[in-house]
Structure 1
Amino acid sequence: MAVPKNKVSKARRNKRRSAVWKLDAPAMSKCTNCGALKAPHKVCKACGFYKGVEVLKLNAD
């Protein structure tokens, strides 16, 4: 079983773990039908289209 030879300092340990806390902006793509921003591979919430096909019937109230 692996055993550490030396103690890892708190600073060194925290530097290694710091990459987990970085946040990325969510990926967004334009809807091919209406041009609104939407999440990729999801139905557009503005018009209800996905890959040029109407998936949801949205009421224009």
Structure 2
Amino acid sequence: MANPKQKRSRSRTHMKRAKIYRPISVPMAVCPNCGQPKLPHRVCLHCGYYNGKQILEVAE
């Protein structure tokens, strides 16, 4: 069976774990209709528009 040849230091272990649990930044786009930030390729939750068409009815 394969075994590690050398001990892995605490520093290397912690650096690896820090990379796993790092928060992921979410890309944001600007809605061309209302100017609010929104997720790309999704309906704007503020105005309900996507690709120039109203998809959702938003209560004002």
**Residue aligning to 2:20:** 20
Segments of 5+ residues of structure 1 without an aligned counterpart are none
CA RMSD of aligned residues (A): 1.7
1:24 Cα offset (Å): 3.5
Q: Which amino acid aligns with 2:9?
A: S
With normalisation by structure 2, the TM-score equals: 0.76
Count of aligned residue pairs for this structure pair: 60
| Structure 2 Cα separation of the partners of residues 27 and 12 of structure 1 | 29
| Structure 1 Cα separation of the partners of residues 4 and 29 of structure 2 | 46
1:3 Cα offset (Å): 1.4
Instruction: Report the secondary structure of 1:14's partner residue.
Output: helix
With normalisation by structure 1, the TM-score equals: 0.75
| Structure 1 Cα separation of the partners of residues 2 and 53 of structure 2 | 56
State, as a whole percentage, how many aligned pairs show the same letter.
Answer: 38
Deviations 1:2-48 (A, max 9, x none): 21112212222212222122224322111121111111121111110
| Structure 1 Cα separation of the partners of residues 25 and 43 of structure 2 | 19
* Runs of 4+ with deviation above 4 angstroms: none
